[in-house]
Amino acid sequence: MQKLTNKEEEIMHILWKLEKAFVKDVMAEIKEDQPHYNTLSTIIRNLEEKGYVSHQAYGNTHQYFPIISMEKYRKTFMNTAIENYFNNSYKSMVSFFAEEEKISAEELREILAIIEKKK
């Protein structure tokens, strides 16, 4: 799975939310730094070339839809991030978030309960 640029990832989040959309529909969802219509169309076609999106043709216009689920992308992204930034250690990742005060002791207890329940 090819890595997405920040803008491509933003567009994918919109397509996951909308499920099916024409370029104009995606454009309407972009609140800040709205690209030109042709630029957005190119980004979506690039997503299609990368295998994230497909389309249904209606004459000269295309309705796009994701063919990679958010869950599959998230899993790949997280595995890559953990591998690249935490030496493949989930313990290091959780420690990082605890040190940065991004996760509380209560949340850690909830995570442990989930892990214990799965055993």
Q: Is the CB of residue 42 less than 8 Å from the CB of residue 96?
A: no
Place of tokens 């630029």: 39
- d(CA 63, CA 65) in angstroms, rounded, equals 7
Picking from 23-27, 53-57, 89-93, which range would have the lowest pLDDT averaged per residue? 89-93
Identify the band that residue 29 occupies on the pLDDT scale cut at 50, 70 and 90.
very high
Identify the band that residue 118 occupies on the pLDDT scale cut at 50, 70 and 90.
confident
One-letter amino acid for residue 74 of the chain: R
Tens digits of residue pLDDT in 73-113: 999 989 999 999 999 998 999 899 888 888 888 999 998 89
Identify the band that residue 37 occupies on the pLDDT scale cut at 50, 70 and 90.
very high
Query: What average pLDDT does the segment 46-72 reach?
Result: 96
Picking from 29, 59, 79, 31, the residue whose alpha carbon sits closest to that of residue 44 is 29
